[in-house]
Structure 1
């Protein structure tokens, strides 16, 4: 199995994939790989041969830190692919996957208890974080204020000198400011309190570094509080790894190694978070996460809504079908020079197919994403999905009406 995102003798990246390798060649490669110490690797799918059929299996590197993007229009399979990658990370030794789930579609990772596909997963519904896990400078923007306005400046000052939302409110009440400014600041902090995402005993980075995948279910949570949670989690994971690496290696790379699992942060609907207060934390992971060992996998149906740094810093791109001109243009602007042809020409047209651009090996491949082993809950409801029981209920209802019976409008 060739491993994308990995350079070296066990990546087979020095060979151009054609989808035409013989069974003997594949077996020889497998035997050679098995003779070495295994490195964490996830099953991604299969290569697409020139005739459109499935060819050799392809994996993805989970050993080294990566910055990855998964893009595709609605219904193209991007969230499904994010789930495939999260599954793979959950099974990888030494990896701590965290999924930011704004749509509530990744709870299926924990829904297969007792089955052959079971993985260790925890779904945290309505997650909370401590107020002081956010930078003080982000608080005015979070609650919809201009940081340079008197009210925004007061909220910023309160956040910088307080460890909890309650303490921020007390600071505002006692501030040397006009009554109008204090009242407005108080109202904005009360709005933040109403979101229900701030708690002094909220989640911290250490909660995510165990041997299971953590799904943060933010369905039903508005964009602003969701951003607060994402910012706290991304920033906390990065700072924890920087601190751990510093303590473990006080004399440089030859010192003792940090035994903490390396975090992989998966973010669905990433454009929502790059457009809010989580943006700075995500940018930090993108641009500085490699050294401390923090990976980010961001999925979006709107790559054109992402900042340029998200596209330029990605060393792995999984591109499903795109049809909006602005989205294709965004990928084209960041197209690497080693890509034969254009992004537009190589984008897939079939659901579940993807163009994978691997900057580590400077190669691009047509891939068919494998099926999920755990339940995928990202499909849209359909009117045709009425059950037989529902049809029987409707039939009985009509029979009662024909017989002169009365039924409740809500029964």
Structure 2
């Protein structure tokens, strides 16, 4: 059995799939290392199996000792992980305002930290831990009325997102068994805020040895993390493995990811890609040890993948295994709503 992501036989691993034989049949079993921290990129066009692969990784992580999968579900596709055998907790994506630093707050609200309102929000975020306290700080500040009003309006908007709660998720709750953060009901800015806060909480908790399990942060549609979450994810990709935080970013648009998302990944799982910019992004990141061109090696069938493993400096053509929990990433079909009588079921 081949274990991707390591060169020895020690530690936990998860069943990812099987090699693709030349005749299309299933070959030897292929697993993935779950014992050490990793940065993983899963890419592929819509319908190629990208979200399915993310679900398989979540299932294997849920069964492995010493690790804690945290799935940030931006599209509502992973609520099905609550089913047996994973039994994940699907939780409301609410975090404490203090989980974000002053700079992140200014970025989130699109405020220049050097401006009057931006400087006021910066001080409020630096000195207060809750959104209500930040708003009080702004209301009582010794600042021009127009400055207070502008800062207050921005914080009122953040309050309307319903993404912040003084009793929001902490690191201990995030690593307490498999967790799915259901962000499907959030707009882009609050979803970025939640993702930034979660990434920061996991990173800082591991730096301080505040949690025993090694967290794995799994993010589907990661190209949507283009706001305040981008900096937090960049830090995990470049520095997260040292304290023990793994990152798995899945996207149908690798060209839209930060450059470090692919270049810093020690495991790259590529399903079918047809967009020219996305294939170019993959070509630019292709290591010298991958024989042949990207176009020659990329799969064409759903569920098939090319896995580039930097630990062993090798590439593997596999078919990802079937899910044990229901797959929630498919688009609705009209035919599924029609019963035998020809009427909606």
Q: TM-score, structure 2 length as denominator?
A: 0.97
Q: How many residues align?
A: 345
Q: Structure 1 residues 280-289 or 97-106, which shifts more?
A: 280-289
Counterpart CA distance in 2 for 1:178 and 1:326 is 48
Q: CA deviation at 1:177?
A: 1.9
RCO higher in 1 or 2 (8 Å CA, sep ≥ 6)?
A: 2
Structure 2 regions of 5+ residues with no counterpart? none
Partner of 1:326: 277
Partner of 2:140: 174
Counterpart CA distance in 1 for 2:102 and 2:341 is 53
Q: 2:217 aligns with which of 259, 265, 270?
A: 265
Counterpart CA distance in 1 for 2:202 and 2:247 is 11
Q: CA deviation at 1:207?
A: 0.5
Partner of 2:155: 189
Q: 1:376 aligns with which of 310, 327, 336?
A: 327
Partner of 2:89: 122
Partner of 2:318: 367
The yes-or-no answer on 1:7 pairing with 2:7 is: yes
Secondary structure at the aligned position of 2:280 is classed as helix
Counterpart CA distance in 2 for 1:179 and 1:208 is 40
Partner of 1:154: 120
Q: CA deviation at 1:181?
A: 1.3
Counterpart CA distance in 2 for 1:160 and 1:389 is 62
Q: CA deviation at 1:121?
A: 1.3
Partner of 1:70: 42
Aligned positions of 1:228-243 closer than 5 A: 228-243=193-208
Who wins on radius of gyration, i.e. which is larger? 1
Partner of 2:56: 84
Q: 2:76 aligns with which of 104, 107, 119?
A: 104
Counterpart CA distance in 2 for 1:234 and 1:393 is 43
Counterpart CA distance in 2 for 1:351 and 1:147 is 47
Q: CA deviation at 1:51?
A: 2.3
The yes-or-no answer on 1:220 pairing with 2:171 is: no
Q: CA deviation at 1:391?
A: 2.3
Structure 1 regions of 5+ residues with no counterpart? 11-37, 113-117, 246-258, 395-411
Secondary structure at the aligned position of 1:388 is classed as coil
Q: Deviations over 1:233-289 (max 9, x none)?
A: 1111111111018xxxxxxxxxxxxx811111101111111x111112111111111
Q: CA deviation at 1:209?
A: 2.0
Q: CA deviation at 1:389?
A: 6.2
| Aligned-pair Cα RMSD in Å | 1.5
Q: CA deviation at 1:228?
A: 1.0
Q: Which runs of 4+ in 1 moved over 4 A?
A: none
Counterpart CA distance in 2 for 1:380 and 1:195 is 27
Q: CA deviation at 1:392?
A: 4.5
Partner of 1:403: none
Q: CA deviation at 1:52?
A: 2.3
Q: 2:209 aligns with which of 244, 247, 250?
A: 244
Q: CA deviation at 1:311?
A: 1.2
Q: TM-score, structure 1 length as denominator?
A: 0.81
Counterpart CA distance in 2 for 1:3 and 1:63 is 11
Kept after mapping to 1: 8 A contact 2:93/2:183 = yes
Kept after mapping to 1: 8 A contact 2:72/2:219 = yes
Kept after mapping to 1: 8 A contact 2:337/2:344 = no
Aligned positions of 1:399-410 closer than 5 A: none
Counterpart CA distance in 2 for 1:177 and 1:350 is 61
Counterpart CA distance in 2 for 1:390 and 1:102 is 36
Aligned positions of 1:287-366 closer than 5 A: 287-366=238-317
